[in-house]
Structure formats: structure tokens, C-alpha cells
Amino acid sequence: MKIFHSQGKTKRERETLIVINFARLLFVGLIVFEILNFLKILQFNTQFTWLGLVITSVFILLLLEITAYKYRQKKGHYLHWSIWIIVTTALSLDAAGDFFHLYGNISWWDQVVHYLVSVIMAFTLFAVINAFWIDKFKYSLLLKEGRLKLALFLSATSTISLGALYEVEEYLEDVFFHTNRLGPGTDTANDITLNILGAITTVIIVYVYYLITHKRKIID
């Protein structure tokens, strides 16, 4: 993948690529910082574990890169730069809470992050699924509203599933590294509930927006 190659591209494509590469650099810089601390080359403290941050950051970056690559192959242009910025922001909220001990010092930080990240993740997945993956289902008989509902369903269920996997990752860290990422007894249930509410919020916002604007053909 020619990340920094810009010859022959339009001005808009070059500007988009600059923003995308900026987000990439933030991702890579964060991962390098986390790995250096995990290897104890750097000695910064985190509230939980550096390994958990590394796993989360690498997984999200790989998922985003694969999605962007597939999108570029299918559509012939770059995944919109806003998705890169949105995902980078969501990851930064989680990393900041861990690095600056906000999860322990601010009682509502964990709830806000789980809710907002789920809203962001559901919207991002919806945009990607609605843009090109939905075509692979070959539902040619579905009306525009049917395709929208399917994309919303897939994005919401995928968001909830990813949230559940994150809770499993926290549990495994506690088992193998004797940390306390799961928190008190209600923490996991609370996190999953907020993940679900975040996904539902995105579904409601997008569908209401569709009902208001569909006659203008804003959503294909």
C-alpha cells in the first residue's frame, strides 16, 4: 500500500491523504509509546496495564487499515478522512483515561468513554457497511430503507460484540497479570449496558435523520 505516494492525485485526494497520514502517525506514535513502556524502556505509569493499551491500539489500527484498503480497492478512492479522525479520537479518550488515571480519579469517566466510543464505533461501522460491504449481500430487492435498516442492524450488533470482546480482554488481563481491570462486581454489566445504549443512540440518530431527509436523497 503506497501510503505516502501522492503523484497523479487530485488536490482533494492529496489533502485527504495528509489528514489520513496524520491520523496514522498519531496511531503509530501512541503504539510505539505504549510498547516502550510495556518493555520498561520508558517508565511512565498507567492505571491498568500497558499490554491492554497495546492490544487495543494495534487491533483498532489493523482493523482500520484493512477496512481502508478494501474500501480503496472497491470504490477507487480513500476512506473518508473523518472516519480516521473519529476513530483516533475514540482511542485517545481510552488511552488518556488510563495514562492520566482518569478512570480512578473521575467516577463518571469510564461510563462516558464506553458510551461515546460505542456511539462513534457504531457510526463508523454504519458508514463503512452502508458504503460498500452491504453490496456483497446482493439484496437487490431491498428498498433504500431496507438497506439502511440492515446496515444499522449490522453496525449496532458489531459494536456490541466488539464491546463484549473488550470486556473479555479485560478479564484475561486480570487472570494472567493479576490486575483489577474488571473493577467492582457491577462494572462489566455497566460497561456492556453503556455500549448497548451507545449503539442504540447511533441507530436512533441515523434513522431519524433518514426519516427527515430521505426525500432529498441524501442517503443512497
Q: Mean pLDDT throughout 157-169? A: 92
pLDDT tens-digit profile of 169-205?
Answer: 888 888 887 777 776 678 889 999 999 999 999 999 9
How large is the angle between the packed helices 81-99 and 11-38, nearest 10 degrees? 20
Residue type, 123: F
Which residues make Cβ contacts (< 8 Å) with residue 180, sequence separation at least 6? 48, 174
Q: Provide the grid cell at 212.
A: 427527515
pLDDT tens-digit profile of 5-59?
Answer: 445 568 888 888 999 999 999 999 999 999 999 999 998 888 888 888 898 899 8
pLDDT tens-digit profile of 82-97?
Answer: 889 888 888 888 888 8
Instruction: Say which residue, 8 or 114, is predicted with more confidence.
Output: 114
Query: From the CB of residue 63, how many other CB atoms can be counted at a distance below 10 Å?
Result: 12
**Which DSSP category does 181 fall into?**
T
DSSP character string of 114-171: HHHHHHHHHHHHHHHHHHTGGGGG--TTS-HHHHHHHHHHHHHHHHHHHHHHHHHHHH
Return the C-alpha torsion angle 107, 179, 35, 40, nearest 10.
110
State how far the Cα of 121 lies from the Cα of 32, in Å rounded to an integer.
23
Q: What is the pTM of this model?
A: 0.77
Which residues make Cβ contacts (< 8 Å) with residue 187, sequence separation at least 6? 110
State how far the Cα of 32 lies from the Cα of 53, in Å rounded to an integer.
11
